[in-house]
Copies of this chain bind each other. A is one copy, B any other.
Amino acid sequence: MRIFTLPEAPHSTLGQIEKELSENLMGFLKENIVAVEKPLTEIEKDFQAHQVPASPSFVSDYAEQMMQTLVAHSVHTSAPSFIGHMTSALPYFVLPLSKMMVGLNQNLVKIETSKAFTPLERQVLGMMHHLVYGQSDSFYNNWMHSASHSLGAFCSGGTVANITALWIARNRVLQASGDFKGIAASGLMAGLRHYGYDDLAILVSTRGHYSLGKSADLLGIGRDNIVSIPCSDDNKVDVDKMRQAAEQLAAKNIKVMAIVGVAGTTETGNIDPLNELADLAHTLGCHFHVDAAWGGASLLSNKYRYLLAGIERADSITIDAHKQMYVPMGAGMVLFKDPEFANAIKHHAEYILRKGSKDLGSQTLEGSRPGMAMLVHACLQVIGRDGYEILINNSLEKARYFAELIKQQGDFQLVSAPELCLLTYRYVPAQVQALLTHAVKHDDLELVTQINQLLDGLTKFVQKRQREQGKSFVSRTRITPDNNLGLTSVVFRVVLANPLTGHDILQQVLAEQREIAQQDALFLPQLLALS
C-alpha cells in the first residue's frame, strides 16, 4: 500500500536520478549511457530471469540496478552525433509535462476517462489539418469538435496512421450499396463479389515504407497487391509508369483502391510529385494517401513548404509528431481531408462509444491510449510557427552543407542529395571512383558488380565499427544509386533533425569514417588492387 501513498523522497536513489536527469538531461545521458558498444548477447545476460520475482524490491535497489543494466546500455538517441535515425534532442519542457501526463493517467478512448483531453486532441488534429489543408474558419468551427466527424485520428505512430488511412480507403471502395451491407459488416470476399472486382491493389513507389506492405497483409489485400512502381533517378515515383500499372490492373479487373505518395522517403528523404499523383488519383477515381510521417513537419516552414506542393490534395495524410516535431516517441497522426471519411470505420459499444458521443475511440484503430496529444499541443504552442520555421530551415540547410562537404572530399561519394534533411553517401577512395566511372561508362557490368560488392562490404564494416566505437552513429540502407548500371548498393544514411548537431560534428563523422575505412584489411586492399 505504501507504494501508492508515499512519494519518492527527493534524496532517494530514484529521486536523485530524477534530479540529475531534470537538471541536465544531456549531461545525464552522456554520463550514464556507456558509449562503447557491449554485444547484445552480453546485455541479454542481465535479462535472463523468466519468473516474476516472489518478493518485492526496494525502489532504490531497482533504480540502481536499472541504471547499470538498462540506462547504461540504452542508445543516446538525442546525442548531436547520433544522426542515423529520425530521433532528435527533446525540448526540456516535455519531461515535466510527460510526468504530468502519466500522473493524470487519462484514457483517450472515451470522454468519461479523458474529459478536457478530448477537445485538446481534437484541437491538435484541427491545427495539423489547417497546416495542410488551410480550410476556412467555418470549416473548423463546424467540424473540429463535431461528434460525428473527425479531422484525423491520433495514434502511436506512422504505421498505425498508414493502416488507418488504407483501412478507410478500402472500406470506402467496398462500401454498402443496395443489398450489400458493406465490407465492414460482410467482409472482403463479399465486397469483391458484390462489386465484381477480382482483387484490390495499392500503388506506391519502390521507396514506400514497409508499413504499407504490413497494412496490405493486415487488411487482407496481400503484400503482392502493393504494386511497386519504379522511381525516376531522383527516388521520386515515375507517375507515367504508375498510370500504366493502373491500366494493366484495370485490364485484369483489379481495382486500384488507393495510390500512395511519399513525402520524405525513409531511405532517401525525397518527395513524390504530389500534384501529378493527385491528378492520377482523380482520373482513377481512387483514394490518394500521402505518407508524410517524416517529411510532413516541413510544412511548418514557410520557406520550404513548397517542396510538398500538392499534399493539400491528398484524401489522407500521415504525420508523425515524434519525428521532426520534437515530441517524444509515440505521437502519430492521420489527417482526413473530408471530415466524413472516418465514418467508414466507425464502431460503437454499449458501455462506451455510444452513438452521438464525442468519444474519440469510436473512430480509431487503437482502443485505450494515453494523452500524448498533450505533448504535441505543448510543442505547437511553445515553439510556435516562428520557432519551427527556424528549426526546420536549419535542418534542411545543414543537410545541404553536409552534402557540399561530402562532395568536396576526394574519397566520399554523395549518393542521394538532400531534398529535406536526409541524405545518403558512401566512402569510395578516389582511384576507385575513377575506375567505377570508367567501368560504368563502358557498360562493364562485371567490373561494376565487383567494385560494388567490395564497396558494400566496406560500407557495412565502417558503419558497424563506427557504431561500436560509440562516438557517433549513422545508419545504413540499400538503394540503387544513379550511374550504377542499376545495381543496388549499401550506403550511409544520415538524418539531420537535431538542432544541436553542429558543422564540426559532421566534419568529425567523415574523418572518423575515413579513418575506419583505411583500417579495413579485407575490402579496401581488394578495391585498391583493382584500380
Contacts and interface: CB of A to CB of B under 8 A. Distances in A.
Contacts of A457: none
Nearest to A161: B367
Contacts of A47: 116, 119-120, 122-123, 145
Nearest to A41: B145
B70 A117 contact: yes
Contacts of A103: 21, 25, 28-29, 90, 95
Contacts of A17: 96, 100
Given A52-B127, A57-B381, 13 more contacts: A21-B103, A46-B119, A47-B145, A52-B131, A74-B104, A95-B103, A98-B102, A105-B329, A156-B156, A160-B365, A183-B222, A189-B192, A189-B198
5 contacts: A8-B92, A43-B116, A46-B119, A48-B144, A66-B374
Nearest to A200: B187
Nearest to A117: B74
A222 B106 contact: no
A309 interface: no
A464 to B, nearest CB: 11
Interface stretch (A395-403, A406-414, A426-434, A470-478): A470-478
A24 interface: yes
B59 A382 contact: yes
Nearest to A170: B220
Given A75-B114, A100-B17, A382-B59, A6 B329 contact: no
Interface stretch (A236-244, A279-287, A343-351): A343-351
A59 B96 CA distance: 11
Interface stretch (A77-85, A269-277, A503-511): A77-85
Interface in A244-273: 266-267
Contacts of A118: 40
A71 B350 contact: no
A480 to B, nearest CB: 11
Contacts of A199: 187, 189-190
A442 interface: no
Contact of A220 (B4, B99, B187): B187
Interface stretch (A210-218, A334-342, A445-453, A517-525): A210-218
Q: Which of A29, A44, A54, A131 is the most central at the interface, judged by chain B CB atoms within 10 Å of its CB?
A: A44
Contacts of A158: 367-368
A152 interface: no
A18 B369 contact: no
Number of copies: 2
A75 B144 CA distance: 22
A370 interface: yes
Contact of A382 (B3, B46, B74, B479): B3
A123 B189 CA distance: 40
Nearest to A84: B112
A55 interface: yes
A499 B214 CA distance: 41
A63 to B, nearest CB: 8
Interface in A347-381: 347-351, 353, 358, 365-371, 374, 378, 380-381
A117 to B, nearest CB: 6
A454 interface: no
Contacts of A21: 99-100, 103
A111 interface: yes
Given A73-B115, A95-B99, A184 B40 contact: no
A218 B167 contact: yes
A55 to B, nearest CB: 5
A342 to B, nearest CB: 13
Interface in A130-158: 130-131, 137, 140-141, 144-145, 156-158
A31 interface: no
A25 B6 CA distance: 9
